[in-house]
Chain A
C-alpha cells in the first residue's frame, strides 16, 4: 500500500505539572515549564530538519499545547498557518485525581491501581463532584458548552469518544483534500487517536506511551490507514522521553 498523506502528531512540552509529577489532565491549564519551552523549540527544529511543511494545525484549548504550537511555528516560520483549537483534543479528564501528586496517589491507592487508572482502556478514575471548584463548566473555554457534556472523569475510551468525532468531521476530511496537517495535543488524546488509526487492541493500547515534544510522523494510505509511523528522534532519545512520562514497565 502506498503512502498518500503525511500527518504529524506532537505531544506538548513539559508543563509545570509534569515537573512536579502531578496529575494535570483536562481541567488544569498548566503552562509550559522552561524545559517545556526548550523542548517545543527543539521539536520545531526536528520538523524543520525533516523538511516537513504544513497547511493547517489543530490543537486543544489548553495553553501547554497552544504555546507548544506557537514555538514550533516560530521555528518553522509559519505563524500564518490557520489554527483550529478544540476542547475535543484536550487531555483526558482525570476526575478527582486532577491536581494530585502521582506519587502520593500511588502511596494511597497502591501502584497497581494507579497504573490501571493511567493506562487501562476503559477503567475510569474516581469521579469529580460537579460542585468541586475543579469542575470546568465555569472556566472560560467551556462556559458555552452544555454542562452535561463537560467531563467529570474519563477513561481512555471516554476520551476517544469525545475526540474521534472531531477527527472524523474536521481533521480527516481536510487531510483528504490534501492539506498537510499538524496536531499538537496531549498524551492521552494522542494515544486515543493512535489506538483508532492503528486499530490497536484494548490490551495493546495499555502499553503505548507517547513521549513529550518528539514529533511523531504517520504516513497514511488513501483511506487514512497508517502504513508507517516513526519519531523524529533516535531510539535512545525516544526511550528516555517515554521513561519520563510513562508507567514503569511500558518503557521499551
Chain B
C-alpha cells in the first residue's frame, strides 16, 4: 500500500555528555567533533536517498539545533522554515542531570536507575531552584507555562503528543515533508505513542545518534512502516519528488 505521508526523525549527533556518559536532559552540551561528523553524515545519507524537506522541527537545545543545521547544509535547504520548540526538548532528568550514569547507578543501585529511566510514571529526583542546573532563569524558557524540575515518561508525553498534533500533523495535512531533529527519549516516547497498536515491534526502540528514521504513515496518519537509513543498507536509492 502506498504511504500517503512520511516524516523523518533524527536524534542529534554525539554530544559532550553522551561521550562522557552523563545524564543530559535539559542541559545544553555541544556536539563533539564526532557528533558534527555524524550530523553531516546523516545529511549525506538523506541526500543519497533523495530526501527533500520543506519544514523542520527541533528543540531549544544546541545539540539538536546544530545537527539539523549540518543536515540542512548537506541537503542545501537552509531556506526551509525551522520551528524550535521546548516541546521537543529531551526528557528532563531532574537532579540526575549533569551526573555520570555509572556513578548514579553506584549510588542508587541499578534497579532504581532502571526504574527512573523506563517506568512510565517514575520521576527522577526533582531539581530545586538552588541547584546548579535549574533552568528557571534561562531566557529561552521565559515564555513557558512552568519550568519542569524533572519528568517522568508520562510528563514527556504531555508535550510530545501536543507537539505532534499541533505542529507536525498540520504540516503533514498541508502536504509538507517534515524533518524532526530531536532527542532519544522524547522521540522514542513520541514514536511509541504513534505505534499504539504495537503493529511494529519497537518495544525497545533504540535511537542511535544521527541515524535517520523514516516513518511512513497512511492517510489517517497511522504509522505503516519504520525504516532506519544508512549508507547502502540494501535499499535502492529512492527518488522522491519535491512536490506532492
The stretch of A61-69, A104-112, A213-221, A222-230 in contact with B is A61-69
Check A80 against B65 for contact (C-beta < 8 Å). yes
Given A79-B62, A80-B60, A80-B140, is A70 in contact with B77 using a C-beta cutoff of 8 Å? no
**Contact partner, B79, options A53, A84, A141, Cβ 8 Å:** A141
Check A63 against B78 for contact (C-beta < 8 Å). yes
Check B243 against A143 for contact (C-beta < 8 Å). yes
Docked Cα-Cα span, A29 to B73, in Å, equals 13
Check A66 against B79 for contact (C-beta < 8 Å). yes
Q: For chains A and B in complex, what number of residue pairs have CB atoms within 8 angstroms?
A: 42
Docked Cα-Cα span, A63 to B84, in Å, equals 19
Check B84 against A82 for contact (C-beta < 8 Å). yes
Docked Cα-Cα span, A61 to B79, in Å, equals 4
Question: Is B71 close to A, CB under 8 A?
Answer: no
Query: How many of chain B's residues have a CB under 8 angstroms from any CB in A?
Result: 21
Given A70-B69, A85-B81, is A80 in contact with B243 using a C-beta cutoff of 8 Å? no
Which residues of the other chain, B, contact A53 by a CB distance below 8 angstroms? Answer: 139
Question: Is B61 close to A, CB under 8 A?
Answer: yes
Question: Is A150 close to B, CB under 8 A?
Answer: no
Docked Cα-Cα span, A149 to B66, in Å, equals 33
**Contact partner, A83, options B61, B77, B82, Cβ 8 Å:** B82
Which residues of the other chain, B, contact A79 by a CB distance below 8 angstroms? Answer: 62, 65-66
Check A66 against B78 for contact (C-beta < 8 Å). yes
Question: Is B242 close to A, CB under 8 A?
Answer: yes
Which residues of the other chain, B, contact A141 by a CB distance below 8 angstroms? Answer: 79
Question: Is A140 close to B, CB under 8 A?
Answer: yes
Which residues of the other chain, B, contact A70 by a CB distance below 8 angstroms? Answer: 69
Contact with A along B46-66 (1 / 0, CB 8 A): 000000101000001110011
CB within 8 Å of B: which of A64-107?
A: 66-67, 70, 77, 79-85
Check B77 against A140 for contact (C-beta < 8 Å). yes
Which residues of the other chain, A, contact B82 by a CB distance below 8 angstroms? Answer: 83, 85
Check A80 against B61 for contact (C-beta < 8 Å). yes
Contact with A along B135-165 (1 / 0, CB 8 A): 0000110000000000000000000000000
Size class of the A contact interface (CB-based, 8 Å): 20 to 34
Contact with A along B205-244 (1 / 0, CB 8 A): 0000000000000000000000000000000000000110
Docked Cα-Cα span, A67 to B62, in Å, equals 15
Among A55, A61, A80, A140, which residue has the most Cβ atoms of chain B within 10 A? A80
CB within 8 Å of A: which of B76-120?
A: 76-82, 84
Docked Cα-Cα span, A61 to B54, in Å, equals 12
Which residues of the other chain, B, contact A66 by a CB distance below 8 angstroms? Answer: 78-79
Check B242 against A67 for contact (C-beta < 8 Å). no
Closest to A82 in B: B84
Which residues of the other chain, B, contact A61 by a CB distance below 8 angstroms? Answer: 78-79
Contact with B along A166-193 (1 / 0, CB 8 A): 0000000000000000000000000000
B186 to chain A, nearest CB (A): 16
Which residues of the other chain, A, contact B78 by a CB distance below 8 angstroms? Answer: 61, 63, 66-67
Which residues of the other chain, B, contact A62 by a CB distance below 8 angstroms? Answer: 79
CB within 8 Å of B: which of A11-70?
A: 29, 53, 55, 61-63, 66-67, 70
Which residues of the other chain, A, contact B52 by a CB distance below 8 angstroms? Answer: 140
Which residues of B are interface residues toward A (Cβ below 8 A)?
A: 52, 54, 60-62, 65-66, 69, 73, 76-82, 84, 139-140, 242-243
29 contacts between A and B (CB under 8 A): A29-B79, A55-B139, A61-B78, A61-B79, A63-B76, A63-B78, A63-B79, A66-B78, A66-B79, A67-B73, A67-B78, A70-B69, A77-B62, A79-B65, A79-B66, A80-B60, A80-B65, A80-B84, A80-B140, A81-B84, A82-B84, A83-B82, A83-B84, A84-B81, A85-B81, A85-B82, A140-B77, A140-B79, A140-B242
Which residues of A are interface residues toward B (Cβ below 8 A)?
A: 29, 53, 55, 61-63, 66-67, 70, 77, 79-85, 140-141, 143
5 closest A-B pairs (Cβ-Cβ)?
Answer: A61-B79, A141-B79, A66-B78, A80-B60, A80-B140
Interface contacts beyond A62-B79, A79-B65: sample of 20 additional A-B pairs, CB < 8 Å, sorted by A: A29-B79, A55-B139, A61-B78, A61-B79, A63-B76, A63-B78, A66-B78, A67-B73, A79-B62, A79-B66, A80-B60, A80-B65, A80-B84, A84-B81, A85-B79, A85-B80, A140-B52, A140-B54, A140-B77, A140-B79
